[in-house]
Structure 1
Amino acid sequence: MNSVTRLGDLARNELADLRKAATDEDEGLGPSGEPRRRYRTIWISDVHLGTRGCNDRMLIDFLDHVDSETLYLVGDIIDGWRMKKRFYWPERHSAIVRRVMKRAIRGTRVIYIPGNHDEMFRQFTGMNFGGVEIRSKAIHTTADGRKLLVVHGDEFDAIVLAHRWLAFLGDWAYRTLMQLNVAVNMFRRFFGMEYWSLSKHAKHRVKSAVSVISRFEEALAHEAKVKGVDGVVCGHIHTAEIRDFGGTVYYNDGDWVEGCTALVEHDDGTMEILHWPDEIKKRADQPVKLKLKAAA
């Protein structure tokens, strides 16, 4: 049984229960009963469910504290490359799928644009599964009227397109770095230190990596200009960024393996990158500030 079939069975077995749970639970409330932060649109990508490197706990925390009218899943949500070799699927990964599907059932528009790691779902483009729309790309209209092309971005990665074996080699090297990242952050948590991304630090230190990222950003911005839209939203390279290329805006929502970031649109069309480790830290610091204020 292949990974797509097994994942399909998992989703079908839970869908009926999800429909009931979606109507039974309080809508719009976070885990402590407080209202969730509401955004007009949320974009996330590069979650890599099915791998040990997925920062599942942090993503669950994110989904429990935010809500939106539209949710874009911009590729590499499930890592089919890894799951072809070894089926790894802990309960926390099912919990993430349940949270996304509950949103779809409650009325959030959920659009899934598969990437290169979950390319096995591209064969279902145009279909709707449990309220989740599967698309190859999308055009999003912001609240202030701008048109944004939404793609995963791997189609603009020359390494993935021209040298697939090199892409797999790079994937192996990246996974090795991710394993080190997990070990480093376990050590940091033990000593009460905040989350830190080893691979993000490495990318910013290596000039060639910075150059590749810059060329990727330019290529995506150029494609948006060719398509006659105002900007582009993508993932793929695990580097969250907002850049303006002569009036064409490039947005990258980052990832949930190392950076743990999301791109959000506010009700007025303003766009923002949320770095969730920082948001968790702010939340943890809030009770301390309240206590200090009360004591004063």
Structure 2
Amino acid sequence: MNNTTSSNKTHYPAVWISDVHLGYKDCQAQYLLNFLNSIECDVLYLVGDIVDLWSMKRQFFWHPSHYDVLALIQKKAKDGTRVIYIPGNHDETFRHYANESLFGIEVHKKYIHTTKANKRFLLLHGDDFDSATRYNKLISIAGDAGYDFLLFLNRWTNRIRRLFGGNYWSLASWIKARVHKARAAIEAFENAAIHEAKKQGVDGIICGHIHHPAVKIVDDIVYCNDGDWIENCTALVENSCGKIELLHWSETQKVIHSADISKLNPTPAFDKSQDAA
């Protein structure tokens, strides 16, 4: 079990979220607010596409809950949580501030996180691997007309479900899992990420971008995708027992996948000067 603070918030050494897409109409900001208010952590990683600048250029949208998410993240930083921001392709403007601090939040293009079990994870958003996927259009950005229609179906399905007392369910993810080319693109993305982790000599890689949450171990490399807050409402956490867990957080909260990283074979020696980039 994880450590619990006196305020009944679950404490984690590290938490990863990405693909929030604040400023986009299908952002599930209320679920994210509930999650962030339920946890405390030593380090909070924002792994890209936190604000959807692309969407806001097309059509400006900003719900009050989107501001509340930013305010809560900044409050956590002010209260002592180390917040590290790795901009993605939808908020790539902030990549110009790499190695600087914005409102108490560190900005990096990529980063190396060392877990309590002394395992090293490469952190990046994931759009670096678009060129490796043959069908990258199918797993690309919120803003593509086909993806917008998929989320339109997702939105109305959940409105109907709530009328009958049902909980949030991702129709979009269910459909993508059954489209062969989408599955092939996701697999190509994951293979490219694992290859990069091997190349960098780290124990694992943590990314987002494709809105497909996963935790898996391949050839002693831990591949983690923290998912999104558009379709899946997922976050990645390092718990106090040395495991990496993937959490779903809507009306129901549960662990989807986990990996005991303490049992991985050690990686080769490395140059500590490359820990941050």
TM-score tier (shorter): 0.7 to 0.9
Contact map agreement 2:35 2:249 (CA 8 A) in 1: yes
Shift of 1:168: 6.6
Shift of 1:269: 2.3
Question: For 1:281 and 1:274, how far apart are their aligned partners in 2?
Answer: 6
Q: 1:178 is matched with which residue? A: 151
Distance change in 2, residues 1:281/1:74 (3 Å): closer
Q: 2:37 is matched with which residue? A: 64
Contact map agreement 1:74 1:112 (CA 8 A) in 2: yes
User: Which of the two has greater helix per residue?
Assistant: 1
Shift of 1:267: 2.0
Q: TM-score, normalised by structure 2?
A: 0.85
| Aligned pairs, number | 250
Question: For 2:151 and 2:235, how far apart are their aligned partners in 1?
Answer: 19
Q: 2:50 is matched with which residue? A: 77
Distance change in 2, residues 1:252/1:281 (3 Å): closer
Q: 1:223 is matched with which residue? A: 196
Distance change in 2, residues 1:215/1:197 (3 Å): same
Runs of 4 or more off by more than 6 Å in structure 1? 159-164
Deviates more, 1:202-211 or 1:167-176: 167-176
Question: Given residue 65 of structure 2, which amino acid in structure 1 is its aligned partner?
Answer: R
1:100 lines up with 2:73 in the alignment: yes
Identity %: 45
Q: TM-score, normalised by structure 1?
A: 0.79
1:170-200 Cα shifts (integer Å, max 9, x gaps) = 7222122112211111111111011110110
Question: For 1:261 and 1:168, how far apart are their aligned partners in 2?
Answer: 17
Question: Given residue 128 of structure 2, which amino acid in structure 1 is its aligned partner?
Answer: E
1:109-136 Cα shifts (integer Å, max 9, x gaps) = 1001011111111111111112111110
Structure of larger gyration radius? 1
User: Which of the two has greater strand per residue?
Assistant: 2
RMSD between aligned residues: 2.4
Contact map agreement 1:154 1:160 (CA 8 A) in 2: no
Q: 1:135 is matched with which residue? A: 108
State the SS of the aligned residue for 2:49.
coil
Gaps of 5+ in 2: 256-277
State the SS of the aligned residue for 1:257.
coil
Distance change in 2, residues 1:168/1:141 (3 Å): closer
Contact map agreement 2:234 2:246 (CA 8 A) in 1: yes
| Pairing partner for 1:150 from 123, 136, 147 | 123
Gaps of 5+ in 1: 1-27, 283-296
Question: Given residue 275 of structure 1, which amino acid in structure 2 is its aligned partner?
Answer: H
